[in-house]
Structure 1
């Protein structure tokens, strides 16, 4: 491998005011090699470590995250700009996920008996080795947690390549694992550019890769993993449908839509990006949304009274503004917002686009910012058809006062998750993942712990029943 020059440090820039905060040197090839070797060596011991001991250490990570929550929440807000209240909730969620796998991991990984006519058989769930975890900036602790918690509990070791704009969040998580008592090498952070990922995936000591990121990144990672016959799990983009049926509580639906879309300044893969409303109630619903938009307080994300935070970076704002401009050039109508806010930092107005036509960029692409794509549809079936007319299939919502009707609609939507009368949410015990171009594999819930284990069949026979 070529030596990486330490002339392009990984930087923290506060998106609230675009001020530089801190820089970290990119790791040399020799440093990366040392970490891969350490992870591989640590696996040889970690895979034999009793599950109760693994669980004890995961519980300790959860305790430390709660204890250090004031520090962690400030770091997340400082580095990627989310509301402090959202950062606090993220830390609490992470602690709950670590506790969930500590409490349940041994049960999930227990041998599973199989019915067979003669003799006996069972599945033994065994770790596979060093995992490469590639994670984005929008939930700097949660993205780490939902891959690390199940897979470390399963007995694997992990190398993290985090997003380059959240280096302090990346480093402090490794510090917490060490403080919790994890053996050196079980979990390590890598400060490397994306250009080095393919080399890591090619390394025989890396057994699998998990990515949360964009559709192009997922395609690249899947191709590299496939080339070397390694398993991958991908959680990619989404353009979630938020369906409001004509019998919905419009006040609750509008509140959920606005809060859901403004969550993390719209930088959430499962936020309600395509709002699809039956035409008989569409105008009233839209008026409620516009009133709620107008009431949002934009400002310092450290201020707990702020409702709308900046986007994660100047580039993030510029990219979203380009998407809005392209949508307008292709015939979309601007109902609200659509501009940058005249103040320092990566701020933009909450925006509503309508009259978005099939074949245009906005109709198919994900917009990662506080932008609604608003659609009026004739009836329930038209809502289902529009929801499914997307390359993505991550989450979705259906609002109706009739649960049976809503569930029937949900069953017809091609997506990995559908929530009734709620935006797509997150809980340790519920699986998270999508279909179509939103990726494959599942995180959280019992399903996650089986993604990177060898489900080994062990068959017991006697001479009398052998076949």
Structure 2
């Protein structure tokens, strides 16, 4: 394949072997303008489309996703290295998302009566307009639809700017949406440089902005949206604590911790990154965790039995490797892995660091890859203090037999979500989002539908 410059093209490189598999030229200012014009025109039609009809479009999209699952999953695997079994699971999860909002979304938009005399006031939920979405590569389809589906059922249109290394996935998704019968302009894909993103944010046809990405990207996008007086939702990084207390079922906790840390090769914002274990069970937990991690199959992401594939980008592997080296120099103990795998692929060994303290790099920074850090807590209060000692606040997990205690501890945890005896996950039935440098705003549930709605007060005959 012809080699092109990343200054002029979005480039997709197969992380399993380092070969370029796709390149997509960045669009001109005229092409961006045309896409925004289609999104604005599409909004004028889509907002007036009955919500029941919008729901039927989501049902059709669910079927289109299932029909296209083999090629969508393969593209995800080739572009960012997600093991094929997990990639297929991502597509099925997206189909179920569409079906759930088709069933429950219309009720979330029902007008709400308010407590005024005569019952003559109500709140109506009106769509805002075209939403600009800047999305990451780690869940190329789920991340997009997690935000798009609630916005679309509400009557907004969606303009996707995807990560450069997964543009093939973006275009396949656009094809599925078009085949599902959505009107022109309801879902647009733009392939632009950061300057193009800035132009889109300031364009009056864009009503609001959503970003899933790094803290640095969140600061930049949030500042631009704020300067343009446009609402934005930011879902940023995380260094999520996974707390295990002395009375926990260790076998269940270990199994959940392994999945929570190593799924998608550890490239999950809400992954269990800091394993905070009460000192009475830290030795046994550590032994069982290392044993379970050692059994994970690392290899070709197209193989059905592979659990850990390559990391998505070579620069991110270099960054992760340096973070591990820094942590070891600071005094942590290496129990497993700890380096780049040999060969052309972008693999990093499943790694376990023990004796990590709150002064070390892997505690203070987000490690976006297959590396677990084990931290010892004196008691449950110390565990919560360690959990909160982070600039992030996305999700947290608590494993304990004392559910009442766990529920008490949730009020102390500075996170957007808490999972008791279960690892963190996103689900359309519950809201998802963070606090502190993990961002603001919420996705999913009825919050995700209403984030990009105008809650309009309608008051009749106020005397």
For the 8 Å contact 2:29–2:196, the answer to whether it is kept is: no
User: Which residue of 2 is the match for residue 382 of structure 1?
Assistant: 382
Q: Structure 2: how far apart are the matches of 1:379 and 1:6? A: 50
For 1:429 and 1:401, how far apart are their aligned partners in 2? 25
1:64 paired residue number: 64
Distance 1:263 1:287 in 2: 20
Measured after TM superposition, the shift of residue 427 of structure 1 is: 1.7
The equivalent residue for 2:203 is 203
Distance 1:21 1:105 in 2: 38
For residues 333 and 163 of structure 1, the distance between their equivalents in structure 2, rounded to whole angstroms, comes to 35
Structure 2 distance, partners of 1:405, 1:6, is 52
Partner of 2:222: 222
Q: What is the match of residue 43 of structure 1? A: 43
Partner of 1:320: 320
The whole-number CA distance in structure 2 between the counterparts of 1:358 and 1:74 is 40
Question: Does the 8 A contact of 1:94 with 1:145 survive in 2?
Answer: yes
Deviation at 1:353, TM superposition (A): 2.1
SS in structure 1 at match of 2:189: strand
Would you say 1:189 and 2:189 are equivalent positions? yes
The residue number in structure 2 matching 1:311 is: 311
Q: 1:100 matched to which residue of 2?
A: 100
Aligned length: 459
Contact 1:15 1:346 in 2 (8 A): yes
Matches within 5 A, 1:355-366: 355-366=355-366
In the other structure, the counterpart of 1:440 is 440
Structure 1 gaps, min length 5: none
Matched, 1:166 2:166: yes
How far 1:335 moved relative to its partner?
2.7
State how far apart, in whole Å, the 1-side matches of 2:347 and 2:119 are: 66
In 2: Cα distance, 1:427 partner to 1:7 partner:
37
Listed one character per residue, the Cα deviations across residues 58-87 of structure 1 (whole Å, up to 9, x for unaligned) are 110111101111111111111110111111
Matches within 5 A, 1:322-361: 322-361=322-361
Could you tell me how far apart the structure 1 residues matched to 2:355 and 2:182 are? Answer: 54
Cα distance in 2, alignment partners of residues 34 and 120 from structure 1:
43
Asked if the contact 2:277/2:376 (under 8 Å) is kept, the reply is: yes
Distance 1:199 1:111 in 2: 35
Distance 1:98 1:140 in 2: 16
The reply to whether residue 270 of structure 1 matches residue 259 of structure 2 is no
1:91 & 1:409 partners in 2: Cα distance?
35
C-alpha distance in structure 1 between counterparts of 2:359 and 2:295, whole Å? 34
Q: Cα RMSD between the aligned structures?
A: 1.4
Per the alignment, residue 231 of structure 1 pairs with 231
Contact 1:6 1:25 in 2 (8 A): no
Shift of 1:337: 1.4
Q: 1:230-282, CA deviations, whole angstroms, 9 ceiling, x for partnerless residues?
A: 10001110000000000011111111111211100000011100000011110
CA distance in 2, matches of 1:6, 1:263: 29
SS in 1 for 2:208: strand
SS of alignment partner, residue 155 of structure 1: coil
The residue matched to 1:206 in structure 2 has which SS?
coil
Q: Secondary structure at the match of 2:455?
A: strand
Residue 114 of structure 2 is matched in structure 1 by 114
Equivalent in the alignment of 2:22 = 22
